[in-house]
A and B are shown apart, each in its own frame.
Chain A
Amino acid sequence: MLSVGFRALFRREVLRFVRRPKNTFMPPAITNVLYFAVFGVILGGRIDEPVEGIGYILFLIPGLVVLGTISNAFENASFSIFHGRWNEYIHETLTSPLSYAEMVVAYVGASAVRGLIVGVIVAIVGRLFVPISVENGLFLVATMVVIAALFAGFGIIGGLVARDFDDLTVMNQFILRPLVFFGAVFYSLTMLDTIWQYVSLLNPMVYMVDSVRYGLLGYSDMHHVAPAGYAEFAPYASLAILSLLTAVVIAIDVYLFKIGYGLTD
């Protein structure tokens, strides 16, 4: 898998965003400073601890890390594919001897890296406001890698189906962000009525935010609100399901490349 061709494409994709920090890393850093300052310090100071022993700013960090990670992974992959299609330079890749799987994994991998870097930036910004100690490091890393890859995989699909740049904006603003905002980033599920707790469980973002929160803070809402039987293993079950979903999405990406969906005539 790690052929010279794969490494060349992966490197190209990483260089594209690394060389433009003003476009790629500065905006999430600034946005998250604002989030922590306004929601954490100004408003958070007036909000009781959502969970016993965890202050509001600390509670916010995992959700904002997830938000930054997945939106950047998605945006990077969808932009890279769509912009390449729009200006047709994706032909440089398509006419090369890279296998379809190598192409997809290079795009997904590089976009996931961008998502993870943004996730770390958000965590560092959060650290400026409150001390953090990682509770389940290995679990946290595994979860972050999986969700970054998952949304990079979704980004590939977005980049292939988009017909213009507005479509990309719609996907990010009207699908991704609402799901994240209702994904227990800013509140604990335990604060909701039972019926809304169950409705929230239909939102896949809830599991991602909860898993990262478990990895970072050692606290999982699922232990309190998920159905018995699932609750006990919730974070690990979530990680397993998310891993499976990521594999399925990447397989779909490879299939779409193979049939040339959005790429060939």
Chain B
Amino acid sequence: MPPAIETVDLVKEYGDLRALQELSLTVEEGEFFGLLGPNGAGKTTFINTLVGLVRKTGGEARVFGHDVESEYQEARDAIGLAPQEFNVDRFFPIKEVLQHKAGYHGVPEAEAEKRADEVLKRVGIYDKRNERFDWLSGGMKRRLLLARALVTDPDLLILDEPTAGVDVQLRHDLWELVTELNDEGTTILLTTHYIEEAERLCDRVAIMNEGRKVTVATPDELKERGTDTISVRLESSVSTSVAADLETDLDAYAHEVSTAGDTLEVRVDDGGSTAPRLLNDLEARGYEIADLEISRTSLEEIFVDMTRSEDRTVTRSSASSADEGTDTDTDTGADDGAVETEQEGVA
């Protein structure tokens, strides 16, 4: 079975601006895949390339093995898209909007009406079925976008920031619904700014920045790439000069040592396995330890580290010079080499 999404060296240029840079990504059938990245990272451009709203400049893109340009009908038939924008037909009541959309996908009229009712019930706005889109509240509009994506019974559901600006209850409702869909076998591609959302829902996530893929990993793998902080409270306070001395002494495993009153904070790769050694080293140096706490780097901090870079516009010329000098996928601005970059086309 071909992957749900497969892109190879996908490029999109807007004049001199490169929105996607040799992006190679694979999403397997049945996966719940997250696409993370700051604004302007190219997430929506990537999605729109798959559904035909953006024409690629180069590379390949396939949906369930169908090329998005030469076999666009098959590719589009497999996709249900809930976009960021409220791009809904304002002329008709929402139920008819859904019937039309199902019809465009070849669903006969009677079946389309039945499906429209079903998805409106599923997203919880059935009682608004005769209203026009403009009369719905913000949360209901978001639900309708999801209903419209579902009415065609897609094999691949693409959700472009579906929970942006929605209240907590709706966010949880949406999470529950998309999890159900994924459990039923629908492949899901989710873009989001909310790290918690990706961590909670996704089997794997890709982090994008400036049109490039920075990395692809499971949320747990990503978190393992971050550093931990061991906070050691001592019986007596320590001076700041001690921190510098300790950083030298503990150089073998400590990335950074800082002090705050009677607490030492030591940043290490793996807090759990390093803590006993740290305690021994401190006791050997005469420190009396009162308490110890280990905190892991959050996925959000890792994400920020990975996407931290200079504010620069990527152009064809700058991309070319980057290509000449370095591997494109490694030019990520990632911190301290902590990010394991993807060298292969397949994630």
A133 contacts across to B, CB distance below 8 A: none
B310 to chain A, nearest CB (A): 26
Cα–Cα distance between A48 and B88 once the two chains are bound (Å): 55
Q: Which of A3, A9, A95, A99 contacts B79 (CB 8 A)?
A: A95
Contact across chains for B103 and A89 when beta carbons are under 8 A apart? no
Contact across chains for B89 and A89 when beta carbons are under 8 A apart? yes
Q: Which of A1-16 contact B (CB under 8 A)?
A: 3-5, 7-9, 11-12, 15-16
Cα–Cα distance between A16 and B97 once the two chains are bound (Å): 12
A165 to chain B, nearest CB (A): 15
A6 to chain B, nearest CB (A): 9
B270 within 8 A of A: no
Known: A89-B90, A264-B55. A97 touches B104 (CB 8 A): yes
When each residue 1-41 of chain A gets 1 if its CB lies under 8 Å from chain B and 0 otherwise, what string results?
A: 00111011101100110000000000000000000000000
Residue from A11, A94, A265 whose CB has the most chain B CB atoms within 10 Å:
A265
Q: Which of B171-229 contact A (CB under 8 A)?
A: none
Q: Which of A85-112 contact B (CB under 8 A)?
A: 87-89, 91-99
B18 within 8 A of A: no
Q: Which of B61-118 contact A (CB under 8 A)?
A: 72-74, 76-77, 79, 81, 83, 85, 87-92, 97, 99-109, 112
Known: A96-B105, A99-B73. A264 touches B53 (CB 8 A): yes
Given contacts A5-B103, A89-B90, A92-B100, 8 further A-B contacts (CB under 8 A): A7-B103, A12-B92, A89-B89, A95-B79, A96-B104, A96-B105, A97-B77, A265-B53
B72 contacts across to A, CB distance below 8 A: 97
Contact across chains for B106 and A3 when beta carbons are under 8 A apart? yes
A4 contacts across to B, CB distance below 8 A: 103, 106-108
B108 contacts across to A, CB distance below 8 A: 4
Contact across chains for B88 and A5 when beta carbons are under 8 A apart? no
6 closest Cβ pairs, A-B complex: A8-B103, A96-B104, A88-B87, A97-B77, A97-B73, A89-B89
Spell out B's residues near A (CB within 8 Å).
14, 45, 48, 51-55, 72-74, 76-77, 79, 81, 83, 85, 87-92, 97, 99-109, 112, 148
A3 contacts across to B, CB distance below 8 A: 106
A95 contacts across to B, CB distance below 8 A: 51-53, 76, 79, 81
Known: A3-B106, A91-B53, A265-B54. A12 touches B73 (CB 8 A): no
Contact across chains for B91 and A16 when beta carbons are under 8 A apart? yes
A51 to chain B, nearest CB (A): 44
- 30 pairs across A/B with beta carbons < 8 Å? A4-B103, A4-B108, A5-B105, A5-B106, A8-B99, A12-B92, A12-B103, A87-B87, A88-B85, A88-B87, A89-B89, A89-B90, A91-B83, A91-B87, A92-B87, A92-B97, A92-B100, A92-B101, A94-B52, A95-B52, A96-B104, A97-B73, A97-B104, A99-B73, A259-B55, A260-B55, A264-B48, A264-B52, A265-B48, A265-B53
* Residue of B with least CB distance to A259: B55
B103 contacts across to A, CB distance below 8 A: 4-5, 7-9, 11-12
Residue from A12, A89, A95, A96 whose CB has the most chain B CB atoms within 10 Å:
A95
Cα–Cα distance between A89 and B141 once the two chains are bound (Å): 14
A94 contacts across to B, CB distance below 8 A: 51-53
Contact across chains for A92 and B89 when beta carbons are under 8 A apart? yes
Q: Which of B87, B90, B99, B104 contacts A98 (CB 8 A)?
A: B104
Spell out A's residues near B (CB within 8 Å).
3-5, 7-9, 11-12, 15-16, 87-89, 91-99, 259-260, 264-265
B89 contacts across to A, CB distance below 8 A: 12, 89, 92
Contact across chains for A92 and B53 when beta carbons are under 8 A apart? no
A8 contacts across to B, CB distance below 8 A: 99-100, 102-104, 109, 112
A44 to chain B, nearest CB (A): 40
A5 to chain B, nearest CB (A): 5
Contact across chains for B104 and A92 when beta carbons are under 8 A apart? yes
Q: Which of B54, B74, B83 contacts A97 (CB 8 A)?
A: B74
A11 contacts across to B, CB distance below 8 A: 100, 103
Residue from A91, A96, A98 whose CB has the most chain B CB atoms within 10 Å:
A96
A93 contacts across to B, CB distance below 8 A: 104
Contact across chains for B55 and A265 when beta carbons are under 8 A apart? yes
Cα–Cα distance between A92 and B88 once the two chains are bound (Å): 8
Cα–Cα distance between A97 and B99 once the two chains are bound (Å): 15
A92 contacts across to B, CB distance below 8 A: 87-89, 97, 100-101, 104, 148
Contact across chains for A9 and B53 when beta carbons are under 8 A apart? no
Contact across chains for B104 and A5 when beta carbons are under 8 A apart? yes
Residue from A5, A8, A87 whose CB has the most chain B CB atoms within 10 Å:
A8
B101 contacts across to A, CB distance below 8 A: 92, 96
Contact across chains for B100 and A12 when beta carbons are under 8 A apart? yes
A88 contacts across to B, CB distance below 8 A: 85, 87
A259 contacts across to B, CB distance below 8 A: 55
B100 contacts across to A, CB distance below 8 A: 8-9, 11-12, 92
Known: A9-B103, A92-B104, A96-B76. A15 touches B92 (CB 8 A): yes
Contact across chains for A89 and B52 when beta carbons are under 8 A apart? no
Cα–Cα distance between A131 and B55 once the two chains are bound (Å): 56
B323 to chain A, nearest CB (A): 23
* Residue of A with least CB distance to B158: A95
